[in-house]
Amino acid sequence: MKYYNSIIDTIGDTPLVKLNKVTKGIPGTILAKVEYFNPGNSVKDRIAVRMIEDAEKAGVIKPGGTIIEGTSGNTGFGLALAAIAKGYKCIFTMADKQSKEKIDILRAVGADVVVCPTNVEPEDPRSYYSVAKRLNQEIPNSFYPNQYDNLSNTAAHYDTTGPEIWRDTTGRITHFASGVGTGGTICGTAKYLKEQKSGVVTVGIDTYGSVFKKYKETGVFDEGEIYPYLTEGIGEDILPKNVDFNLIDHFVKVTDKDSAIMARRLSKEEGLFVGWSCGSAVHGALEWARENLKEEDVMVILLPDHGTRYLAKIYNDTWMKDHGFLESREFSTARDIIRSKNGKAQLTTVGQTMRVGEAIRLLNQHSISQIPVTDENGLIVGSLTDSDILGKLIEDPTIKDAPIGQVMDKPFKFVALDNTVDVLSSLIDRENKALLVRDENQQVHIITQADLLAALTI
């Protein structure tokens, strides 16, 4: 008889599938490593088992223990499968931007799920990173795998994913592309492949709102790059230990919209019903391949998960239209608002050393109600609004001679180009009276309440 002792014994040996239609006009052979053939329908099954087994060997977790992890969903599902096979309990923390399907699936396999706010700093006690760490400290015999910094993550792909790709391409692979989140998938796989053939080029796919691409290219961790985005599973506002930038040769950033549309194309044109970040990986890899691949090259793109995680999001036409990914109104996104200005409105800023009185004259001169504040390097470090400064002047008229840095408020939030008018409107409140957005050329634009009103009434 041929059978497996438990479901986790079926992990790995996922197929390579040639992409035929979405690659039209691009040279070379382009193959997808389809990870939804794993029992948990994602690449994260590989690291889940490895992290638990390494913890068992180290005596970090004992029988009857509890696994506690911060996850975007897929790692949690892999850990839950391993926990069922090995007799552990699971508690997972997730950001509230994750799909309802992911939360429901985790609960279906017996896990407790704690949903945490997305738009907080990683160090904030409410973040899903911090809540997982706190629960680990509070619950006896618990194990916090911490997929971001646990090098068993990278090791799992070095030992399995890399060798599978090398074997199935008979060593002909020349390029490997993958999304970058925790970094384990791309770095573990790339490390193995580069050891077999040093010329293998690795392309990391990042998202707008994440720090990876700029950090790779400049060595600067720029908090100004961080803002909310919708794509799940890639990009970060931290630098995980599993991300080895020496193993990633190039980064390509992909928007939420382009990712969603490519995922739907893969389903309709290739028969690959894949997840959202799979669209990111393919769109970004093909953008790079179009300019760099040769006819004799072989590129492998890793597709991390399955489309069932996103039925209420990118595979729902109403959701797509509401987010401006399927056009339903003339002004639907931040990109449309910026385009409508035709470049006429240049962003006006003031330096933090400028006197408050001078800034007020500038507000009046330009007929604006709010203005970003920059430091000596041109980085946005604060904001000034007419209503707030009026209140402060009434309390203390002498502050008109003070430098802006002493009275400024926190910087306006950065948002993604593809955020829709309804999302933008929800982000503007008493605490945040305008929004900032970077376009494809990295120029910064401001979106005000007046801009949103214009977009909704035209």
What residue spans define the domains of the chain? 7-42+152-322, 44-143, 334-457
What band does 374 get if pLDDT is binned at 50, 70 and 90?
very high
What's the whole-number average pLDDT of the chain? 91
Task: Please check the confidence at residue 457 and state whether its pLDDT lies above 90.
Answer: no
> Taking Cα atoms as reference points, which of 247, 302, 225 lies closest to residue 33?
302
User: pLDDT for 161-200, tens place per residue?
Assistant: 999 999 999 999 999 999 999 999 999 999 999 999 999 9
The confidence score (pLDDT) of residue 342 equals 66
- Tens-place pLDDT, residues 70-90: 887 899 999 999 999 999 999
Check for a shared fold between 7-42+152-322 and 44-143. Answer: yes
CA separation for the pair 154, 181 (Å, rounded): 12
The CATH number of the structural domain formed by 44-143 is 3.40.50.1100
- What are 275-306's pLDDT values in tens digits? 999 999 999 999 999 999 999 999 999 999 99
Predicted TM-score of the model (pTM): 0.74
Range in 9-23, 158-172, 252-266, 408-422 the model is least confident about: 408-422
CB 224 within 8 A of CB 380: yes
Q: Is 62 a catalytic residue?
A: no
Q: Does 341 score more than 80 pLDDT?
A: no
**CA separation for the pair 95, 197 (Å, rounded):** 39
pLDDT at 18: 98
C-alpha to C-alpha distance for 295 and 427, rounded to whole angstroms: 47
Predicted confidence at residue 275, as pLDDT, reads 96
> What's domain 334-457's superfamily in CATH?
CBS-domain (3.10.580.10)
Query: What are the tens digits of pLDDT across the range 125-166?
Result: 999 989 999 999 999 999 999 999 999 999 999 999 999 999
Catalytic residue, from 2, 21, 24, 44: name it.
Answer: 44
Instruction: Kindly tell me if the per-residue pLDDT of 248 is higher than 90.
Output: yes
Contacts of 337 (CB under 8 A, 6+ apart): 331, 421, 447, 451, 452, 454, 455
* Rounded Cα distance, 100 and 309, in Å: 8
Q: Which two tokens stand for residue 336?
A: 């449309």
pLDDT of 430 above 80: no
**What is the CATH topology of the domain spanning 7-42+152-322?**
Rossmann fold (3.40.50)
Burial group, residue 274, by CB count within 10 angstroms (0-12, 13-18, 19+): buried
Q: How confident is the model at residue 53 (pLDDT cuts 50, 70, 90)?
A: very high
